[in-house]
Amino acid sequence: MGTSMSLSWQLVGMDEASGALLLTHPDLDWDNFPALAISLLDEWELALLQQDSGADRHSWQLTFEESRIWLHFEHHSGCWLSADDEEGRATLRWLSRRYKD
Protein backbone atom coordinates (compact mmCIF):
# COMPACT_ATOMS: atom_id res chain seq x y z
CA MET A 1 0.00 0.00 0.00
CA GLY A 2 1.81 3.09 -1.25
CA THR A 3 1.52 6.61 0.08
CA SER A 4 0.15 7.97 -3.19
CA MET A 5 -2.91 5.72 -2.91
CA SER A 6 -4.08 7.46 0.25
CA LEU A 7 -4.00 10.84 -1.46
CA SER A 8 -6.62 10.29 -4.12
CA TRP A 9 -10.04 9.02 -4.93
CA GLN A 10 -10.63 5.62 -6.48
CA LEU A 11 -13.49 4.44 -8.64
CA VAL A 12 -14.86 1.25 -7.05
CA GLY A 13 -17.32 0.43 -9.81
CA MET A 14 -20.60 1.30 -11.44
CA ASP A 15 -24.03 0.27 -10.23
CA GLU A 16 -25.56 -0.78 -13.54
CA ALA A 17 -29.15 -0.57 -12.27
CA SER A 18 -28.95 3.06 -11.18
CA GLY A 19 -25.96 4.15 -13.27
CA ALA A 20 -24.22 5.46 -10.15
CA LEU A 21 -20.44 5.54 -9.91
CA LEU A 22 -19.23 4.18 -6.57
CA LEU A 23 -16.22 6.01 -5.14
CA THR A 24 -13.86 5.53 -2.23
CA HIS A 25 -11.11 7.44 -0.49
CA PRO A 26 -9.13 5.89 2.38
CA ASP A 27 -9.47 9.01 4.56
CA LEU A 28 -13.16 9.65 3.86
CA ASP A 29 -15.49 10.34 6.77
CA TRP A 30 -18.35 12.73 7.52
CA ASP A 31 -16.18 15.57 8.81
CA ASN A 32 -13.58 15.61 6.06
CA PHE A 33 -15.97 14.94 3.15
CA PRO A 34 -16.11 18.62 2.07
CA ALA A 35 -12.33 19.00 1.77
CA LEU A 36 -11.92 15.62 0.07
CA ALA A 37 -14.83 16.34 -2.26
CA ILE A 38 -13.13 19.54 -3.41
CA SER A 39 -10.03 17.48 -4.23
CA LEU A 40 -12.23 15.12 -6.30
CA LEU A 41 -13.73 18.06 -8.17
CA ASP A 42 -10.24 19.35 -8.96
CA GLU A 43 -8.93 15.92 -9.92
CA TRP A 44 -11.88 15.07 -12.19
CA GLU A 45 -12.44 18.62 -13.54
CA LEU A 46 -15.95 18.90 -12.12
CA ALA A 47 -17.60 22.22 -11.24
CA LEU A 48 -19.66 22.78 -8.10
CA LEU A 49 -23.13 24.29 -8.53
CA GLN A 50 -24.72 23.72 -5.15
CA GLN A 51 -23.93 22.10 -1.79
CA ASP A 52 -26.50 20.58 0.52
CA SER A 53 -25.85 18.79 3.80
CA GLY A 54 -28.53 17.17 5.88
CA ALA A 55 -28.43 15.13 9.05
CA ASP A 56 -27.09 12.05 7.30
CA ARG A 57 -26.15 12.98 3.72
CA HIS A 58 -24.01 15.40 1.76
CA SER A 59 -25.45 16.05 -1.73
CA TRP A 60 -23.59 18.30 -4.12
CA GLN A 61 -24.85 19.25 -7.56
CA LEU A 62 -22.00 19.36 -10.08
CA THR A 63 -21.43 19.93 -13.76
CA PHE A 64 -19.05 18.29 -16.15
CA GLU A 65 -19.06 20.21 -19.42
CA GLU A 66 -22.82 20.65 -19.97
CA SER A 67 -24.04 17.69 -17.90
CA ARG A 68 -25.39 17.98 -14.37
CA ILE A 69 -24.52 15.20 -11.96
CA TRP A 70 -24.67 14.67 -8.19
CA LEU A 71 -22.03 13.74 -5.63
CA HIS A 72 -23.49 12.04 -2.55
CA PHE A 73 -21.96 10.86 0.71
CA GLU A 74 -23.68 9.00 3.53
CA HIS A 75 -21.64 7.82 6.48
CA HIS A 76 -22.95 4.25 6.33
CA SER A 77 -23.56 3.96 2.58
CA GLY A 78 -20.41 5.51 1.17
CA CYS A 79 -19.85 7.94 -1.67
CA TRP A 80 -21.23 7.95 -5.20
CA LEU A 81 -21.92 10.05 -8.27
CA SER A 82 -25.40 9.90 -9.79
CA ALA A 83 -27.38 11.53 -12.59
CA ASP A 84 -31.02 12.51 -13.06
CA ASP A 85 -31.18 12.02 -16.82
CA GLU A 86 -29.69 10.04 -19.69
CA GLU A 87 -27.23 12.79 -20.60
CA GLY A 88 -25.88 12.70 -17.05
CA ARG A 89 -25.72 8.89 -17.06
CA ALA A 90 -23.77 9.00 -20.33
CA THR A 91 -21.36 11.44 -18.64
CA LEU A 92 -20.97 9.04 -15.70
CA ARG A 93 -20.22 6.16 -18.09
CA TRP A 94 -17.57 8.32 -19.78
CA LEU A 95 -16.07 9.30 -16.42
CA SER A 96 -16.01 5.64 -15.35
CA ARG A 97 -13.97 4.72 -18.43
CA ARG A 98 -11.65 7.69 -17.95
CA TYR A 99 -10.94 7.04 -14.25
CA LYS A 100 -11.31 3.29 -13.90
CA ASP A 101 -7.63 2.80 -13.05
Q: Report DSSP state, residue 66.
A: T
- CB burial readout 59-76, b (16+ within 10 A) else e: ebebebeebbbbbbbeee
User: Can you give the pTM of this predicted structure?
Assistant: 0.88
Residue 61 lies in a domain: yes
Domain count, the chain: 1
Domain with residue 80: its CATH number is: 3.30.160
Say if 1 falls within a structural domain: no
pLDDT of 5 = 35
Q: Is the pLDDT of residue 88 over 90?
A: yes
| In-domain check, residue 2 | no
For the segment 41-83, what is each residue's pLDDT rounded down to a tens digit? 999 999 999 999 888 899 999 999 999 999 999 988 899 999 9
Residue 4 lies in a domain: no
pLDDT given at position 101? 66
Distances (CA, A) of 81 to 2, 16, 25, 28: 26, 13, 14, 15
What pLDDT, on the 0 to 100 scale, is given for residue 16?
A: 81
Beta bridge partners of 45: none
The domain containing residue 57 runs over which residues?
9-98
